[in-house]
A and B are shown apart, each in its own frame.
Chain A
Amino acid sequence: MSRRGAPGPYLGLLLALLVALGELPQVRCSEQEPGGAHGSNQGFQVVTFKWDHVQDPFIIALWILVASLAKIAENCSPPPALQCHGARGPSRASHTLDPAWSVTTSERTHGGLVQGQAAIPSASASTAGTWPAAISFPGVAVRVTQAGFHLSHKVTNVVPESALLIVLGLVLGGIVWAANHTASFTLTPTVFFFYLLPPIVLDAGYFMPNRLFFGNLGTILLYAVIGTVWNAATTGLSLYGVFLSGLMGDLDIGLLDFLLFGSLIAAVDPVAVLAVFEEVHVNEVLFIIVFGESLLNDAVTVVLYNVFESFVTLGGDKVTGVDCVKGIVSFFVVSLGGTLVGVMFAFLLSLVTRFTKHVRIIEPGFVFVISYLSYLTSEMLSLSAILAITFCGICCQKYVKANISEQSSTTVRYTMKMLASGAETIIFMFLGISAVNPCIWRWNTAFVLLTLVFISVYRAIGVVLQTWVLNRYRMVQLEAIDQVVMSYGGLRGAVAFALVVLLDEKKVKEKNLFVSTTIIVIYFTVIFQGLTIKPLVQWLKVKRSEHRDPKLNEKLHGRAFDHILSAIEDISGQIGHNYLRDKWSNFDRKFLSKILMRRSAQKSRDRILNVFHELNLKDAISYVAEGERRGSLAFIRSPSTDNVVNVDFNTPRPSTVEASVSYLLRESASAVCLDMQSLEQRRRSIRDSEDMVTHHTLQQYLYKPRQEYKHLYSRHELTPEDDEKQDKEIFHRTMRKRLESFKSAKLGFNQNKKAAKLYKRERAQKRRNSSIPNGKLPMDSPSHNFTIQEKDLELSDPEEAPDYGAEEMSGGIEFLANVTRNETTDSPSGDTGSDVPLTGRSSPREVPPAAEKHSRVPPHAPPTPAPVPPPPPPIAPPAPPTTQSPASDREPGAGPASEAGPASEAGLALEAGPERRRLPGAHARSAAARRVHSRRSFQRPRARRRPALLKLSSLPPSYHAPPHTLEQEETPL
């Protein structure tokens, strides 16, 4: 369906464009006429057509729209119908806008660019003004295009997006050419360097996995500097050698021109590399090396380029040794200067964001404006602008993220991604479009082919040589596969193109040859290598070739192994550079953070650090409690969780039902002799669907190992929030468990008591402080609860102590106790929610007794929660998982537990069936409370599993009921 639908919008889009463009000439004529008429005869006009007035921004916006639409289509294949509309909409729009289009197409490139050029050197204000415009001009196109390609994941799985975009650019360029016979749109260096590149590089810097980057900085620098110089020199010299042999025929090129060409073609392009590497899953070290190299070598390229260009300008014979030395010096000045500028601006940015507490709304603006200023400033000083903005991003990220508000940081993240991904799309498309211009083509087979051969071969040689040197010093060796991927991943891109276009035809006679060769090289690397690198990687990892669905065991254990591995990695220590890193983090903590971070941010950071590094009971308690109080734990309140939970309500049901059915079938199959074959089939089909559900669940919810989610930078995806959520979840589980075992193992009861009391008091304090609308605090319950806890701890055997069973047990008892005793209701959602997953043990789950609910409906309760999702599988009766009886061994606990019996049923029924309204009070449950229970369910005790183990005698009969009621509740839905 989707596959068939996919080309539809495309064709529609293209057709529309074609039609539109075909009409251009006429439209232009008609446009000019009224324009002429305007001036002469009319007085006042009610409505005027002022195209010129809005021309530039309009076209820009249009391009952005087009590009974005393309992106949409690329990303969502499922509803084809929708796509068609989406794609056709804009195309129609462009159609109607034809007049505008036609007029501008020809003027556009020149006018716009000249304007851009004029604007750039001027101050930041004006740049800021023109910037969006200039970006968006090509942007529209790009959005649309991207939209076109995201069409089918099937396609993009095989072909990298960048390659698709180039091809689309070619097609569009062809259309424009066919309509206009001039190359109207080209990627000009100005637009590229001032508007398209900065967002991409800033994005790369701002989201740079710093630790990884600095951990591999030496390697990255070696590849970026030595590697690039090597590539430039060898390529240039080899080409010159071949030229001397006469293989290329008659060309007007000198040695310096060759070197110039070599230098501009040497650099691996960050845009192209990322676009491809993101889709090929390589290990993180390899990723960061290639990525870092491609970012940093731009500086080298630009310096080399400038040096050789000035040499060419001087003329080959006038270059002296002094000039060469100057060239080398200028390299250091340019790169270090650029870095310094970046760091300075990062400092400034961090400092500024520290004081934006009262102007939150403009915080994101600062991030962009100041980083962009760093780019422009270093460009102004003829330093390396790319390095400046990269390091600005790298250095400021930590402080900015800590300083600005959550919303602002989200805004920054999204805006940055949006700009970067848009710019990237634009670049690739325009690489395609720019190629459709016969004026620039000058073909020389030998030159083109030899360039291709040389850059590939020399890169490979360079990589192997450097790796050989590096491997003697590196902790993590770069293996043969890595080297292959690195040499093969040397994609050239827009930087090379922009540089080659910048060449002055008067000085470099064969500019067009260089341009066309560069284009070919870019196409070859991006399209051919981009296409083949993925299969290559897969082929090299031979083990992966065997394709089959992993079994459950493999999936589960495989993931477990990943976690084990990353844990062992952490234990065995990080990779090198520890000393420097420690020094730096000391310095950072002592000085930088103090200056650059808000006080509140410092504090919270310190707290987490403390908990992490000096695990100390009190800190951990207050951390957990604090997190709960603020409700800042993502999984407690994040709406996404709710969605997930809602979804879950549906998924588990079939699985449980099916599970029971299949059990039945299996059982009966062995017992009764039925038609075995059909039974077998049925069983199999049931099993299959069950399998699917199970696999799906595992796939989706197994925690991801670190390597998979951290560290890697992606231009198109933003996932850190999930990671944080996962981290917090796990962290809290871990902390909770540790506190448990800590108490039971390390401290005697007295301390335990103290700690728990302290905790209780703290919580009570907090509760009192936090807004509780209706509720007295259970003043007597802390001590009471506490005794129970103590017992629980004592009872749970050491092996089990860190497990949920024990936790839940105590939580459950407490819960019961609370149900019976206290009059408090839970404070509304925030606090309620937070109680549950983390400190089930010690946070009283105050559920108002049913009797109370009769008379008093909590204010926050919705009238009737009618069409709610089925309730989460509710909490089973809280019962100790250990074989020891909870009640008989426990004098103080016995009272509440048995007392709790009836009420517990009430409570459970409450939880179980809000919509069933078993009890009058049931409807009183707010949505928030329900959410709580859905969460609570993940740590339900195992009691239901083995009820036989409990000594139920001590419990009231009603205790038995809930499981069954629960079961009933679940199935029909």
Chain B
Amino acid sequence: MGSHSSAVARIPDADDIRRETGFSQASLLRLYHRFRSLDRNKKGYLSRADLQQIGALAVNPLGDRIIDSFFPDGSLQVDFPGFVRVLAHFRPINEEDTRTRDPKEPEPLNSRMNKLRFAFQLYDQDRDGKISQQEMLQVLRLMVGVQVTEEQLESIADRTVQEADEDGDGAVSFLEFTKSLEKMNIEQKMSIRILK
């Protein structure tokens, strides 16, 4: 354990990051190693290409969207805090944390709302706060096999939007998005056990 803490010390701003993300020391250290190994030419940040080299992402229909989510606002690089911040959305929710949490503090990154918001922005590509039918269709296209025809996709996208759309503007706002998924166990579904 001693080696851990000394190794953690090497991570810049480790304490700040931990406070923000809630990762344990061990996880943070592991992620740091991961970050370093992804960073192929030791630039100190990750570029899109670094993430794209992960083979499994190439066969993940949403892989590129996930990659994009690491680079908000068109930036071309992500540093370690940014990297961890994105991953922190997927930290499992610890019940003790939520009980002891100071209500004045901002919601932790791994709260249900933030998990949903992360998913929402994967859909909402133009950042207008709404998932339009087109945006839904794009995601659908990514996720459905080639056998499905465009008509079907469009009809599915239509129906999906309609189902969630409550105010009749033909798009799904974040509120509607959360409502349509209120029965789903997001806390569990959007958490990765290894990210403690």
Contact = CB atoms under 8 A, between A and B. Distances in A.
Interface of A: 475-477, 543, 546, 551-554, 556-573, 575, 578, 611-615, 635, 641, 644-645, 648, 651-652, 655-656, 659, 690-691, 694, 697-698, 701-703, 706, 726-727, 729-731, 733-735, 737-738, 798-799, 802-804, 837, 872-873, 935, 937-940, 942, 945, 970
A623 B190 CA distance: 34
A938 B146 CA distance: 6
Nearest to A554: B184
Contacts of B163: 551-553
Instruction: Name the residue among B143, B151, B155, B194 with the largest chain A CB count within 10 angstroms.
Output: B151
Given A565-B190, A572-B87, A938-B146, A873 B151 contact: yes
A563 B190 contact: no
A562 B60 CA distance: 10
A656 B151 contact: yes
A563 B60 contact: yes
A798 B125 CA distance: 11
Contacts of A802: 64
B17 interface: no
B133 to A, nearest CB: 9
A476 B92 CA distance: 12
Contacts of A735: 58
A690 B117 CA distance: 30
Contacts of B74: 798
B175 interface: no
Interface string B116-155: 0011001001100000001001111111111111111111
A623 to B, nearest CB: 11
A937 B152 CA distance: 11
Interface of B is mostly: helix
Interface stretch (B5-13, B47-55, B95-103): B47-55
B193 A648 contact: no
A579 to B, nearest CB: 10
Given A557-B181, A937-B150, A552 B52 contact: no
A458 B22 CA distance: 38
A570 B126 contact: no
A655 B180 contact: no
B14 interface: no
B183 interface: yes
Contacts of A551: 163, 180
B90 interface: yes
B66 interface: yes
B77 interface: no
A938 B64 contact: no
23 contacts: A475-B30, A552-B156, A553-B181, A556-B139, A557-B180, A558-B189, A564-B119, A568-B87, A570-B54, A571-B54, A573-B30, A612-B53, A691-B159, A697-B148, A698-B156, A702-B143, A702-B144, A737-B64, A798-B74, A802-B64, A804-B138, A873-B149, A938-B149
Contacts of B70: 571
Nearest to A946: B134
Interface string B61-86: 11110100010001000000000000
B39 interface: no
B148 A613 contact: no
B93 interface: no
Nearest to A725: B145
B58 A612 contact: yes
Given A571-B70, A731-B59, 10 more contacts: A553-B164, A556-B139, A560-B122, A564-B122, A565-B90, A568-B66, A571-B54, A656-B155, A729-B146, A939-B150
Closest 8 CB pairs of A and B: A612-B55, A573-B34, A553-B180, A570-B56, A567-B66, A727-B59, A701-B145, A563-B62
B113 interface: no
Interface string B148-192: 111111111011100110000000000000001101111011101
B54 A552 contact: no
Contact of A648 (B57, B122, B142, B147): B147
A798 B33 CA distance: 32
Contacts of B125: 799
Contacts of B30: 475, 573
A543 B188 contact: yes
A566 B38 CA distance: 17
Contacts of B184: 554, 557-558
Interface of B: 30-31, 33-34, 37-38, 49, 51-64, 66, 70, 74, 87, 90, 118-119, 122, 125-126, 134, 137-156, 158-160, 163-164, 180-181, 183-186, 188-190, 192-195
Instruction: Name the residue among B90, B126, B159, B164 with the largest chain A CB count within 10 angstroms.
Output: B159
A804 B141 contact: yes
A647 to B, nearest CB: 8
A651 B152 CA distance: 9
A648 B52 contact: no
B152 A726 contact: no
Contacts of B37: 573, 578
A738 B48 CA distance: 10
B180 A476 contact: no
A605 to B, nearest CB: 12
Contact of A690 (B56, B150, B159): B159
Nearest to A646: B147
Given A567-B66, A698-B156, A561 B144 contact: no
B147 A655 contact: no
Contacts of A645: 147
Contacts of A615: 49, 52-53
A561 B190 contact: yes
Contact of B156 (A562, A572, A697, A970): A697
B41 to A, nearest CB: 12
A557 B119 contact: yes
Given A554-B180, A655-B155, A799-B125, A571 B87 contact: yes
Contacts of B62: 560, 563-564, 567
A945 to B, nearest CB: 7
Nearest to B26: A475
A319 to B, nearest CB: 44
A172 B160 CA distance: 53
A614 B34 contact: no
A651 B143 CA distance: 19
A477 B180 CA distance: 32
Nearest to A935: B146
B149 A567 contact: no
Contacts of A578: 37
Instruction: Name the residue among B61, B70, B122 with the largest chain A CB count within 10 angstroms.
Output: B61
Nearest to B146: A938
B90 A568 contact: yes
Contact of B155 (A476, A568, A694): A694
B122 A475 contact: no
B141 A575 contact: no
Contacts of A572: 31, 34, 87, 90, 192, 194-195
Nearest to B156: A694
A127 to B, nearest CB: 42
B148 A554 contact: no
A797 to B, nearest CB: 10
B66 A556 contact: no
A558 B180 CA distance: 11
A368 to B, nearest CB: 31
A652 B151 contact: yes
A448 B155 CA distance: 62
Given A570-B57, A729-B146, A935-B146, A477 B193 contact: yes
A476 B193 contact: yes
Contacts of A477: 193
A651 to B, nearest CB: 7
Contacts of A937: 149-150
A369 to B, nearest CB: 35
Instruction: Name the residue among A566, A691, A935 with the largest chain B CB count within 10 angstroms.
Output: A566
Contacts of B54: 570-571
Nearest to B164: A553
A721 to B, nearest CB: 14
B122 A701 contact: no
